[in-house]
Chain A
Amino acid sequence: MDVEREALISVKLALGTFQSEIAGIANTAASRRAGCEADCEYQIQDTQYKVEVLEEEVKRLSDRIAELEKRIEDDEYREHKISEALPPLYDKVDHMKYQLQELSAAEARIRNNLGRADEDSRDAMEDQLADIREMESSLMTAIHDTEDRISDMEAEKTRLISEINELSYEKSETENQLEQTKKRLYRYQDKLQRLKTAGNRLKDDFDAYVAAVEQFENISDASAAQKQLVLTQCISLVDEMESVFGR
């Protein structure tokens, strides 16, 4: 009977230890779940934020490319118009210079004949020379104005070509940036989708784990308590028998 009593006590102790160790495992599991799921939610929100930032960046870059295309198109149109307008102006200058040479030649001829002319003719020739000088002056002013205009247009054409090159370079760089940003966006969109799927699976797995732990804690607690009660009664019975039989 002593041996059996020892066994009863050791089992009772083992059950008591088990019961105290198991107590609270469901709370621990629920706490682990809360901490983990909060972090999971943060990870999903962080990825969602990155996707939104990249979507905005893609839009910004696309808008910038459209704006650059519009400016390049406008500049090319203006440069084309200037290029079309320049040759007639050069021709006009050439023509005016030719007219000026003709007038100079006429002036020289009249001056050459001036010494041999009589009084009446001389007055008329003087009048012609005055007209020629006035025409020369007008022509030189017109040539000067047209050359100034050509110079301004050439400068504007050079500026436009330079601007077109700069805008084209910026457009090319922006297109590269857009391509890279789109790649990142697609990867983060894919990551977000996979995170959501993995998060749903994790939630289901946590549901099953926490339920299993709660169930085990409830069953084992009731079972161990009931067994301990029986064992206590057995030990009391053994103690009583020992006192009666004097062992």
Chain B
Amino acid sequence: MNSYSQDIQTDIDAFQDCVQRLSSGVASAGTLWQDAQYASLASGISALAMRSRDVLVTGDRVCESINIFFSIASEEY
């Protein structure tokens, strides 16, 4: 794996952790806070988590493209 794709993979993993921690934090509050406002908040966070999928998918694609590019670049004849 190329260092550029490793860096981006690290960014993506940290990003995923960050979104998951937010989702977990809000979910854990749900045991203490159950009303319409919480439901609205939880729904908003869930939508945000869904949007994070775009970052993960495009990030994976970039890593794959970087690896392909630098694999070709390393060819010597």
Please report A residues at the B interface, Cβ cutoff 8 Å.
3-4, 6-8, 10-11, 13-15, 17-18, 21-22, 25, 28-29, 32, 35-36, 39-40, 43, 47, 183-184, 187-188, 191, 194-195, 198-199, 201-202, 205-206, 208-209, 211-213, 215-216, 219-220, 223, 227, 230, 234
A230 to chain B: which residues have CB within 8 Å? 37, 41
B57 to chain A: which residues have CB within 8 Å? 212
Q: How far is the CA of A199 from the CA of B65 in the complex (A)?
A: 8
B30 to chain A: which residues have CB within 8 Å? 7
Q: Contact: B73 with A43, CB < 8 Å?
A: yes
Say yes or no: A11-B25 contact (C-beta < 8 A), given A36-B66, A227-B41.
yes
Q: Contact: B54 with A216, CB < 8 Å?
A: yes
B14 to chain A: which residues have CB within 8 Å? 21
Contact of B41 (CB < 8 Å), options: A11, A43, A194:
A11
Q: How far is the CA of A230 from the CA of B73 in the complex (A)?
A: 52
Min CB distance, A32 to chain B, in Å?
6
Majority DSSP secondary structure for residues of A touching B: helix
A14 to chain B: which residues have CB within 8 Å? 21-22, 25-26, 29
Majority DSSP secondary structure for residues of B touching A: helix
A234 to chain B: which residues have CB within 8 Å? 37
Chain B residues with a Cβ closer than 8 Å to the other chain, count: 41
Q: Contact: B29 with A216, CB < 8 Å?
A: no
Q: Contact: A216 with B69, CB < 8 Å?
A: no
Say yes or no: A15-B22 contact (C-beta < 8 A), given A188-B77, A195-B72.
yes
Q: Mark B52-76, 1 if CB is under 8 A from A, else 0.
A: 1011011101101110111011010
Q: List 15 A-B contacts (CB under 8 A).
A: A8-B33, A13-B25, A14-B21, A14-B26, A18-B22, A32-B4, A43-B69, A198-B72, A201-B68, A202-B66, A208-B58, A209-B55, A216-B55, A220-B48, A220-B51
